[in-house]
Amino acid sequence: MGTARVLIVDDHAGFRSFARSLLESEGYVVVSEAEDGRSAIAAVSESRPDVVLLDVQLPDMDGFEVTRRLLASPDPPPIVLTSTRDAADYGQRLESSGARGFIPKSELSGSALETLLEGP
């Protein structure tokens, strides 16, 4: 996907900084960051990212609710959920969320993101 434009959504500034450095070093362009669900929804309409890297645990609404709201809008970007918890902790909610996929924070990489974006 090359120079995909990414919105990083996480309530921890340290993780946003880490994810930005990691993804930019692998050729992604981070167009915006958000620290909660409401900011994420606004940032999608303002910055029009190619993909949203979205933390499941946010202070105002969880990543599943943010995903639902974004997917209800016209022409939503692909959404990749992330968490410090394992995918198994979320079970069926991940499958039915409408998100493109899930990457544990400890396994985040440009190639992991690209694999999900290329998808089936």
Q: What is the pLDDT of residue 71?
A: 98
Residue 116 inside a domain? The answer is: no
- Report the first-to-last Cα separation within the chain, whole angstroms: 14
CATH number, domain with residue 100: 3.40.50.2300
Please report which confidence band the pLDDT of residue 120 belongs to, taking 50, 70 and 90 as the band edges: low
Residue 118 inside a domain? The answer is: no
Q: What does 58-114 look like in DSSP terms, one character per residue?
A: -SSS-HHHHHHHHHTSSSPPPEEEEESS-GGGTTHHHHHS--SEEEEGGG--HHHHH
Residue 73 inside a domain? The answer is: yes
Out of 1-5, 12-16, 91-95, 99-103, pick the least confident.
1-5
pTM: 0.96
Residue 115 inside a domain? The answer is: no
Cβ–Cβ contacts within 10 Å for residue 19, how many? 24
Range(s) of the domain holding residue 101 = 5-110
Overall number of domains in the chain: 1
Residue tagged 């930019």 (tokens): 24
Mean pLDDT of 25-30: 96
